[in-house]
Amino acid sequence: MKLAYWMYAGPAHIGTLRVASSFKNVHAIMHAPLGDDYFNVMRSMLERERDFTPVTASIVDRHVLARGSQEKVVENITRKDKEERPDLIILTPTCTSSILQEDLQNFVNRASMESKSDVILADVNHYRVNELQAADRTLEQIVRFYIEKAKQNNTSIVGSKNEVFEKGKGIEKTKKPSANIFGIFTLGFHHQHDCRELKRLLADLGISINEIIPEGCSVENLQNLPKAWFNIVPYREVGLMAAKYLEKEFSMPYITTTPMGLVDTAIFIREIQSILEKPDFFNKNFQFDYENYIDHQTRFVSQAAWFSRSIDCQNLTGKKAVVFGDATHASSITKILSREMGVRVCCAGTYCKHDADWFREQVENFCDEILITDDHTQVADMIARIEPSAIFGTQMERHIGKRLDIPCGVISAPVHIQNFPLGYRPFLGYEGANQIADLAYNSFTLGMEDHLLEIFGGHDTKEVITKTLSTESDLTWSSDSLVELSKIPGFVRGKIKRNTEKYAREKGLKEITIDVMFAAKEAVGA
């Protein structure tokens, strides 16, 4: 168990709870000590939910430690079954409850005999996986459970258990092309906006939505998943395991290209066309030629392509940026900045260490260096070393940027409430390309912006002696040096200040005078 005051991805049970609470009429019971139920507060605050979060904490306390928790857990499950009448109850262990080495599967088996609801235990190793990995596994587990249940009940949709269904034979498909979308769930970064934009894009292509999993989906509808022509996994963090399971069981193709940015959105659409054009793919009454649509959207509907070639965006050419976030968003934003906007990405990184190989493959040709870590102090040190013109990262990178006077555009979870906007802010599709272009452009301090603000007033001119990543400063500035520092234009003052302090520390100096400032200037060749 890693202890830290900031974690990019939380513990495993949070991922399970996010998936469970995204389904309709599913209740989650968390076997944990008091305090681990902060998920309820987090979800209701960030998602601005009107209803109570369907999560109950079966508290591990001193009495449980003394006598065991079987009776308590079983009683909580049966009570929620009677009170809420959910379709499914998921029991999730936590790191704390796992220490007790209790047989939670036996608890579930006992409760199942008394409950009308389906009851399952979240089958994840809470010591070895993080929040995102657990969410992916939980979603696959729920999908598998209801597909197998449909087979056992001889449901016609998925075929009888006595039939040959493995290769999709005998599966009733939708008459028109349709897709399942996996991975849209609670607390996801702009997930609701992305889902809306993705549905609009697919509607333009003549493709209907079969099911969206898990957000707003009923578990009883999971038996309908094989009816779709193919599956879409827009974020690789969650949904990939379920898509692979359906491919194995029913030969359902799936697309993992994230339609983020103009280039990848076009690739995404062409991958859909390649699936629909397969010789053995259902009926051939449909004609699929999306090239005209791609061309029209890119040149005339989306503003991002035109803007990237405008004189305004040309000002960004060669500017240094750092990108850090989950694997999906960090890789996509890196490619957008580099190949679509001409920004130099000095470092691209992700905290998804389990997906390190895939991430490296995606960004290796679009950035100078790659950082794979879940330690935010390493990210902070990297940013301080590179001193980029802008950062694109999580809320943590935004905090780091504020301490270093470097602007930051938030592009990935974890985030605070300001990045759960009420307005429409997708990152996927052609409208998403517009939003990302705006975010990238506005994240840079451009031209004489700060200097003009200082000249004409309205700028925050309060003196800040030191802004470093350290909580304490070991340097002092003389009054004369502060006066000299104030004469420097605002848009370069922060960089000069950091260079001077860096020089002073290297030389072992405790006070920065005017002479030290000039010496630091000469040292960097300015």
Active-site positions read 312
Q: How far is CA 225 from CA 154, 173, 219, 296, in A?
A: 16, 10, 11, 32
Q: How far is CA 171 from CA 158, 221, 242, in A?
A: 6, 15, 18
Q: What Rg, from alpha-carbon coordinates, does the chain have?
A: 27
Distance of CA 5 to the CA centre of its chain: 20
Separation of alpha carbons 413 and 436, rounded Å: 15
Any idea what DSSP says for residue 218? B
251: left (phi over 0), alpha (psi -120 to 50) or beta: left
Q: Which of 382, 301, 389, 385 is nearest to 342 (CA)?
A: 389
255 and 272 Cβ atoms separated by less than 8 Å: yes
Query: How big is the CA angle at 65 (ends 62 and 67), to the nearest 5 degrees?
Result: 105
Query: Which residue do the tokens 């603000």 mark?
Result: 453
Separation of alpha carbons 138 and 242, rounded Å: 9
Q: What would the two tokens of residue 374 be?
A: 């879940």
**Residue 381: other Cβ atoms inside 10 A:** 14
Q: How many residues does the chain have?
A: 526
